[in-house]
Amino acid sequence: MKTPPNDYLKFWRVIRYYMKAKHNLSQADLDIILFLHSEGYFGQKDFDKFAELVSWEVGRFKRLQKEGWIVHFRKRRGNSRALYQLGEKANRVVLDIYRKLNGEEIPTSMSANPMFLRNVSYNDKVYRNMILEMNAYNKTHKFKKPKPEEAED
């Protein structure tokens, strides 16, 4: 079987684990941020609608707002509802995820990656071994944009 030219999801689990560890996010928080990234502006009801798909947490919206993941775009005035958007912090995380999916290395220094600190969990140690393997793989298998004729296959 031929490997696709852009095998983006091969290391998705490793990248996801790294992002959650680096930014202290839950899986549900990360899923919501990824969903809202393409929404642009959204209301509380839009957030709640997608949040029904992930694990339930009282006050998640307020917590994400307090932590700067979600920011006000427009406050409620008269008949117009309040609108929100992802904060700069959330947009940077999404951009970083796409970079890692495109083959950018995950840092392996203790200062840039909490998983490389000395006293970490067993899971962190297993994932950091996979990060080293992923970085080596990405060095030898640089992603290339498919040519139009390749994309049709």
Number of domains composing the chain: 1
The secondary structure of 67-134 as a DSSP string is TTSEEEEE--BTTBPPEEEE-HHHHHHHHHHHHHHTTPPPP-STTT-GGGSSS--HHHHHHHHHHHHH
Inform me whether the pLDDT recorded for 145 exceeds 80: no
**Predicted structure pTM score:** 0.85
Q: Which of 131, 101, 136, 102 is nearest to 116 (CA)?
A: 131
Query: Is the pLDDT confidence value at 147 over 70?
Result: no
* pLDDT 10s digits, 100-123: 999 999 999 999 999 999 999 999
For 83, the token pair is 């609108």
49 pLDDT more than 70: yes
Q: Where residue 56 falls among pLDDT bands split at 50, 70, 90?
A: confident
Inside any domain, residue 2: no
> From CA 16, how far away is CA 2, in angstroms rounded?
26
Amino acid at 127: Y
Residue 134 lies in a domain: no
Would 124 be classed as within a structural domain?
Answer: no
The verdict on residue 52 lying in a domain is yes
Write out the residue range of the structural domain in which residue 22 sits.
8-106
| Cα gap 5→2, rounded to integer Å | 9
* Two structure tokens written together for 65: 């707002």
Q: Is the pLDDT of residue 148 over 80?
A: no
Quick one: pLDDT at residue 146? 53
Is residue 76 included in any domain, yes or no?
yes
Question: What was the pLDDT predicted at 7?
Answer: 76
User: Domain containing 41 — which CATH number?
Assistant: 1.10.10.10
2-23: pLDDT as tens digits: 767 677 789 999 999 999 999 9
